[in-house]
Amino acid sequence: MYGEKEIKRIEERRKKWDEEIYRPLVEKRPERLKRFANLSWTEIGPLYTPTDIKDFDYGKRSGNPGEFPYLRGIHSTMYRGRTWTMRQFAGFGTAEETNRRYKYLLEHGETGLSVAFDYPTLYGYDTDHPLARGEFGKCGVAISSLKDMELLFKDIPVDRITTSMTINGPAPIVWAFYIANADNQNIPRSHIGGTIQNDVLKEYIAQKSFIFPPAPSMRLTVDTFEFGFREIPRWNTISISGYHIREAGSTAVQELAFTLADGFAYVKAAMERGMDIDQFAPRLSFFFNAHNDFFEEIAKYRAARRIWANGMKDLGATKQRSMLMRFHTQTAGVSLTAQQPEINLVRVAIQALAAVMGGTQSLHTNSMDEALALPSEKAVRLALRTQQIIEEETGVANTADPLGGSYYLEWLTDRMEEETMRYFDRIEGFGGVVPAIEKGFFQRELAEASYKLQQEYERGERITVGVNKYQMDEKMEIPILRMDERGEEIQLNRLKKLRKDRDNGKMDKALERLRRAAEGDENTMPYILDCVHAYATLGETCQVLRDVFGEYEEPAIF
């Protein structure tokens, strides 16, 4: 701890440096005086010292890894005990095509699976729905039934590998496909593990693949919490996502604030259901972006852990695991460029390094060709190798929170937390997250932030290498993935055969029981599972819920 004399001495040395060394230099080169702002427009000083940190007792303010409030990491051993899960996001075309990609990734060292679904699936439509036309398999795999899920994970040991699924509006149904597939293989539900994103609040804010209005959507989410706690204890029933908020144009501070606000809203909704916070909180997880400002991203992750731990304690959590923020990270898709795509490898490596130094529990590294097409085998292998080099060759996994104690990083972590708390106050001024969504608060914030940033790029005040500086006339040609042209026909024929071969009477009864449960207040998950086991399709099951809950129409905000 620094005493008053030591603080005074540090301040005097800092002043002397500024007057005698820094100022004379920038007077000769005035352009160096410019204070560059980070991606949240926080003014960054040219030097940081211990006096920039509010609480000089570093041990008291942050503790050690594995100790409340977990600023320095949620595990005492961090990566010495267990490295992060290498979970590459993948999915395209048919279930068979994606199954082959999963096996390819596992053969090359991936340690967890992550499923990308196409847009019809995200919206709860089958491939043969009129609104699905032209969208089959383009941004993920098409999953319209349990039959598709069985093919997706054919010959993959779902009891020995965890799976993350980026699905939101129809998350309970797609989760039921996965559970039913395990049931049909006689794998105990207690043996399967993974994550469903299931974060519908961020859909209204950013990604926009919502289906139902907020209230019934929150009900379905809490249904999964309740069912998961009882039946599938190894499953994370939500991945509260800042990634899509950032991809939609937010700053790092907005990503942090809006994501955590959503998280606390889910906790409060589950508690209102009557669930004990220590029952469901240990299975909550998060999903963050890793963007270009190296130190800002690390500060974001550190601040997130501290805010979450303190907030959960204030809400009544008593178990350590209830206060731990476990999160997955994906490198910034929006930062990838079609120009000079090979240099995306460099961007991704730096972003991934920030995620690791910030203490992520799992990581996806984007492929260099994703601004052009879905990743090729070569590109996705190089993306995976990026993680493996960070793990095996850099030494950053040898110690927890390796940048902890950096005067700049500690100051920036505190600043991120302060700005987040200000956003919390603004959200509460609307009456909470859902009223703020309905009044367009989040949407306006994202629109204004992304517009401001784009203006800076266009004026050349911010640089994207290869786009607005260091351009090349020569075009880099790289091979891109080509999907099976017969994929949609294969999928449509499979759906046709499914509807012919199944016991339609049994399915109709299951759907009717789900309808009655949705109209009442029972947990819908057991009824959804009955429908899935009867081979009701995603669209058929989702339509029952649409009929009961209605569909959400976003209000005009400008």
Q: Are 391 and 530 found together in one domain?
A: no
Q: Are 130 and 191 found together in one domain?
A: yes
First to last CA, the chain: 51
Q: Are 273 and 211 found together in one domain?
A: yes
Q: Are 409 and 544 found together in one domain?
A: no
This model's pTM is above 0.85: yes
Q: Are 407 and 492 found together in one domain?
A: no
pLDDT at residue 81 greater than cutoff 70: yes
| Cβ contact 255:272 at 8 Å | no
Whether the bond between 170 and the residue before it is cis, its omega within 30 degrees of 0, is no
Q: Are 494 and 454 found together in one domain?
A: no
51 is a domain residue: no
**Domain of 530, in residue numbers:** 487-549
Domain end, chosen from 442, 458, 474, is at 458
> What's the pLDDT score for residue 185?
96
Q: Are 420 and 498 found together in one domain?
A: no
Retrieve residue 31's tokens. Answer: 């352009």
Domain end, chosen from 413, 439, 458, is at 458
> pLDDT class for 53, splitting at 50, 70, 90?
confident
107 is a domain residue: yes
Nearest by Cα to 284 from 248, 315, 251, 253: 315
Helices (H), 338-406: 344-357, 377-393
Tell me: the pLDDT tens digits for 84-110? 999 999 999 999 999 999 999 999 999
% of the chain exceeding 70 in pLDDT:
97
482 is a domain residue: no
Q: Are 411 and 499 found together in one domain?
A: no
394 is a domain residue: yes
Is residue 261 exposed (0-12), middle (13-18) or buried (19+ Cβ within 10 Å)?
buried
Query: CA–CA separation, 414 vs 66, rounded Å?
Result: 19
- What b/e string do you get for 170-203 counting C-beta neighbours within 10 Å, with b at 16 or more? bbbbbbbbbbbbbbeeebebeebbbbbbbbbbbb
- Those residues whose C-beta lies under 8 Å from the C-beta of residue 145, and which sit 6 or more positions away, are 126, 177, 495, 498, 535, 536, 537, 538
Least confident of 2-6, 34-38, 370-374: 34-38
CA distances, 189 to each of 178, 270, 321, 386 (Å): 10, 22, 22, 34
User: Edge-to-edge strands of the sheet including 284-290?
Assistant: 235-236, 194-196, 163-165, 112-115, 85-90, 362-364, 327-331, 284-290, 238-241
Q: Are 520 and 395 found together in one domain?
A: no
69 is a domain residue: no
Tell me: the pLDDT tens digits for 238-280? 999 999 999 999 999 999 999 999 999 999 999 999 999 999 9
> pLDDT class for 62, splitting at 50, 70, 90?
low
Nearest by Cα to 264 from 419, 423, 39, 412: 423
> pLDDT class for 32, splitting at 50, 70, 90?
low
Tell me: the pLDDT tens digits for 524-552? 999 999 999 999 999 999 999 999 999 99
Tell me: the pLDDT tens digits for 370-397? 999 999 999 999 999 999 999 999 999 9
- What b/e string do you get for 12-30 counting C-beta neighbours within 10 Å, with b at 16 or more? eebeeeeeeebeeeeeeee
CATH code where residue 249 lies: 3.20.20.240
| Cβ contact 150:184 at 8 Å | yes
% of the chain exceeding 90 in pLDDT:
85
> What's the pLDDT score for residue 178?
98
Q: How many domains does the chain have?
A: 2
CA distances, 453 to each of 331, 340, 444, 449, 532 (Å): 19, 22, 14, 6, 45
Q: Are 315 and 375 found together in one domain?
A: yes
The average pLDDT across 229-238 equals 96
1 is a domain residue: no
Domain end, chosen from 407, 440, 458, is at 458
466 is a domain residue: no
Q: Are 323 and 424 found together in one domain?
A: yes
> pLDDT class for 476, splitting at 50, 70, 90?
confident
The half-sphere exposure of 178 on its side-chain side, counting CA atoms within 13 A, is 31
| Cβ contact 243:287 at 8 Å | yes
299 is a domain residue: yes
Q: Are 193 and 85 found together in one domain?
A: yes
